[in-house]
Amino acid sequence: MRVSRKVFLVLAVLVLELSFFAGDQAQAQPPQATPPPPAAPRSLQIPRAVEQTFTNGLRVIVIERAGTPLVSAQLIIKNGAEVDPPSLAGLAHLTASLLTLGTRTRTATQIAEAIEALGGSQSSEAGWDASAASVGVMSSKISPALEILADAVRHPTFKADEIERLRQQYIDYLNVQLSEPGAIASFVAARVLYGAAPYGHPLGGTPESLTRIKRADIVGLHRNLYRPDNAILMIGGDIRADLAFSFARKYFGDWKRPALRLRPSGQQHAGRSLNGKARVLVIDKPDAEQAAIVVTRAGISRRDPDYFSGIVTNSVLDGYSGRLNQEIRIKRGLSYSVGSGLDSRREVGPFVASAQTRNDAGAQVAELLLGELNRLATAPISETELVPRKAVLVGNFSRELEQLNGLVNDVGFLAMLGLSLDETNQFVNNVQAVSASDVQRFAATHLKAGEASIVVVGNAKEFLPQLKKQFKGVEVIPIAELDLNSAGLRKSRTRASKIGR
Partner 1 sequence: MPVPMDLPRAMHKTFVRDKEACASFRKTCPQSLRRLSRLRRISVPAGLLLLLVAGQSVSGQVKMPRLDFHERTLANGLRIVSAENRTSPTVAIQVWYHVGSKDDPAGRSGFAHLFEHMMFKSTRNMKSEMMDRLTEDIGGFDNAFTNDDTTVYYEVVPSNYLETLLWAEADRLSGLNVDAQNFKSERDVVKEEYRQTVLAPPYGRLDYFLQQKSFTAHPYKRPTIGSIEDLNAAALADVQAFHASFYRPDNATLVVVGDFDQQQLDTWIDKYLQPIAKPGSPLPRVTVKEPQRKKEVRFTENGPNVPLPAVGITYLTPPITDADAESLRVAQTILSAGESSRLYHALVYEQQIAQSASATANLLEDVGLFHLNAIAASGRKPEDVEASLLAEVKKMQDAPVSQAELDKAINQIVTSQLLERETNDGKALALGTATVLLGDPNRVNTDLVRLQAVSTADVQRVMKKYFNSENRLVLYYLPEPAKSKPEGR
Within residues 322-351, the interface with partner 1 by CB under 8 A covers 325, 329-341, 343, 345, 350
Residues 354-383 that bind partner 1 (CB under 8 A): 354, 356-358
Residues between 449 and 488 that touch partner 1 (CB under 8 A): none
Minimal distance, residue 353 CB to partner 1, in Å: 7
The residue from 59, 78, 79, 97 that contacts partner 1 (CB under 8 A) is: 97
**241-280 footprint of partner 1 as x/- string (CB under 8 A):** ----------------------------------------
Residue 22 lies near partner 1 (rule: CB under 8 A): yes
Closer of 93 and 154 to partner 1 (Cβ):
93
The angle at the Cα of 437, spanning 436 to 440, to the nearest 5 degrees, equals 90
Segment near partner 1 (CB under 8 A); pick from 106-114, 258-266, 439-447, 482-490: 106-114
Three-class secondary structure of residue 389 per DSSP:
helix
**How far is 399 from 68, CA to CA, in rounded Å?**
16
Q: In this chain, which of 47, 102, 156, 205 binds partner 1, going by CB under 8 A?
A: 205
Cβ partners under 8 Å of residue 269, min gap 6:
194, 197, 198, 347, 348
Region 380-439 residues binding partner 1, contact defined as CB under 8 A: 387-388, 391-392, 394-396, 398-400, 402-405, 408-410, 412-413, 416
Count, residues near partner 1 per rule CB under 8 A: 148
Candidate residues 1, 6, 25, 270; the one interacting with partner 1 per rule CB under 8 A: 25
Give the residue, chosen from 74, 79, 265, 486, that forms a contact with partner 1 under the rule CB under 8 A.
Answer: 74
Identify the bridge partners of residue 76 per DSSP, sorted by sequence position.
132, 232
For partner 1, the closer CB: 5 or 473: 5
Q: Which of 79, 95, 103, 122 binds partner 1 (CB under 8 A)?
A: 122
Q: Quick one: which of 3, 4, 53, 169 contacts partner 1 (CB under 8 A)? A: 169
Sheet holding 350-357, edge to edge: 338-342, 350-357, 291-298, 453-458, 280-284, 474-478
Q: Kindly tell me which residue out of 6, 30, 305, 469 binds partner 1, with binding defined by CB under 8 A.
A: 30
Q: Which of 113, 254, 422, 475 binds partner 1 (CB under 8 A)?
A: 113
For residue 399, count other CB atoms closer than 10 A to its CB.
Answer: 10
Residue placing its CB nearer to partner 1 in the complex, 138 or 262: 138
What interhelical angle do 241-252 and 142-154 show, nearest 10?
Answer: 30
Residue 402: φ, ψ to 5°: -65, -30
- The answer to the question of residue 170 lying near partner 1 (CB under 8 A) is yes
Closest CA to 322 of 355, 349, 296, 344: 355
- Of 123-131, 150-158, 256-264, 274-282, the segment contacting partner 1 by CB under 8 A is 123-131
Q: Are strands 280-284 and 453-458 parallel, antiparallel or unpaired?
A: parallel
200 makes contact with partner 1 (CB under 8 A): no
**Rounded (10°) CA dihedral 185, 190, 192, 194:** 180
In the complex, what is the shortest distance from the CB of residue 441 to partner 1, in angstroms, rounded to a whole number?
A: 23
Q: For residues 234 and 134, give the distance between their C-alpha atoms in angstroms, rounded to a whole number.
A: 9
The most distant pair of C-alpha atoms in the chain lies apart, rounded to whole Å, by 81
Instruction: Answer yes or no: are the C-beta atoms of 212 and 96 closer than 8 Å.
Output: no
Question: Which range in 200-208, 252-260, 443-451, 486-494 contacts partner 1 by CB under 8 A?
Answer: 200-208
Q: Which of 189, 231, 235, 373 binds partner 1 (CB under 8 A)?
A: 189
Instruction: Give yes or no for residue 213 binding partner 1 (CB under 8 A).
Output: no
Which one-letter amino acid corresponds to residue 360?
A: D
Q: Does 120 bind partner 1 (CB under 8 A)?
A: yes
Sign of the Cα pseudo-torsion (106, 109, 112, 118, in order): negative
State the nearest-atom distance from the C-beta of 24 to partner 1, in Å.
10
Q: CA–CA separation, 462 vs 362, rounded Å? A: 8
Q: Does residue 159 bind partner 1 (CB under 8 A)?
A: no
Question: In the complex with partner 1, which residue's Cβ is closer, 161 or 254?
Answer: 161
Q: Give the Å distances, CA to CA, from 56 to 129, 255, 462.
A: 22, 7, 60
